[in-house]
Amino acid sequence: MTEQAARTPFLYVVVCAAGVAADVSKLITAAQEQDWEVGVIATPVAMNGFFDTAAVEAQTGRPIRSAWRTPGEPRPFPAPDAVVVAPATFNTVNKWAAGIADTLALGTLCEVAGLGVPIAVLPCVADALAAHPAYRDSVGRLRGMGVRFGEPYAGEPGEDGGRPEFAWNRALDLVGRG
C-alpha cells in the first residue's frame, strides 16, 4: 500500500464572514464522521467573532489559518484532497473569480483551483447581491473552472419567521464524499 493510499484524506474548510459561519462545526463534524481530517482557513474578517475559533481549533486539533506563513515556517496543513468554501460571501466569490489573492483564503482558493482539487462552494449571499451582474459572472467563471456550487442561501426568514437551515452537509456531496 502506498503512503498516499494509507493517508486519511484532508479537507480544507474556508470560512468567510457571514452569520451562518457560527455553525461551521456542523460541517467539520460531518466531515470527520466521513473520515476526513479537517483544517480551517478563515478570512481575516471571519476571525473577528463570526465563529468560535477556540472551539473549532479544539474540534480539528489544528490552528485556524488566516495569515500567510513566513518563508521558514513549515506548512501547517498537508495538501488538500478537497476544499469546501462555506459560507462563501459575495466578496470572496467575486475576488476569487477575478484571481485576487489578497488574503490567505483567497490565495489558497486561487492556487487549488489550478491543481484539479475538488472544490465545493456553499454561497451565503443576499438576493440583491446575488442579482448583481458581477456575481453572476463570477459564479459562471468559477463553474467553468470546475468549482461545484450548492444552492444559494440568502438567510431570509420564511413566512413562519424562521430561517431555513444552511446546507452544511451538501458540501461533502459536492466534493464526492457525501
| Residue 6 pLDDT | 62
**Does residue 62 sit in helix, strand or coil?**
coil
pLDDT at 12: 98
DSSP-H helix ranges across 77-132: 90-97, 104-113, 127-130
Examine the pLDDT at 55 and tell me if it is beyond 50: yes
CA-to-CA distance for 90 and 130, rounded, in angstroms?
Answer: 7
78: enclosing H helix or E strand: none
Cell numbers that stand for 116 in this block:
484539479
Note the pLDDT of residue 2: 47
Grid coordinates given for 26: 456542523
Strand partners for 83 = 12, 119
Q: What is the pLDDT of residues 1-36, one digit of tens each?
A: 445 556 899 999 999 999 999 999 999 999 999 999
Q: Quickly list H helices, 48-132.
A: 53-60, 90-97, 104-113, 127-130
Would you list the domain boundaries of the chain? Answer: 3-71+78-157+165-174
108-120: string of b/e by CB count within 10 Å (b at 16+)? bbbebbeeebbbb
147-175 pLDDT, tens digit per residue, is 999 998 887 777 777 778 899 989 999 99
Across 132-146, average pLDDT = 97
89 to each of 6, 69, 92, 133, 159, how far by Cα in Å? 35, 24, 5, 15, 24
Average pLDDT, the chain: 92
Which phi and psi (to 5°) does residue 13 adopt? -115, 115
What pLDDT score was predicted for residue 159?
Answer: 75
More confident residue, 42 or 156: 42
Q: Give the pLDDT band (50/70/90) at residue 89.
A: very high
Average pLDDT over residues 106-115: 94
What pTM, to 2 d.p., does this model score?
0.93
- Spatial distance between the Cα atoms of 12 and 27, rounded to a whole number of angstroms: 11
Contact between 35 and 8 under an 8 Å Cβ cutoff? The reply is yes
- Mean predicted confidence (pLDDT) in 131-143: 97
pLDDT in tens, 62-74: 999 999 999 999 8
Choose between 55 and 154: higher pLDDT: 55
Task: Say which CATH superfamily domain 3-71+78-157+165-174 falls into.
Answer: Flavin prenyltransferase-like (3.40.50.1950)
- CA pair distance 20, 125, nearest whole angstrom: 11
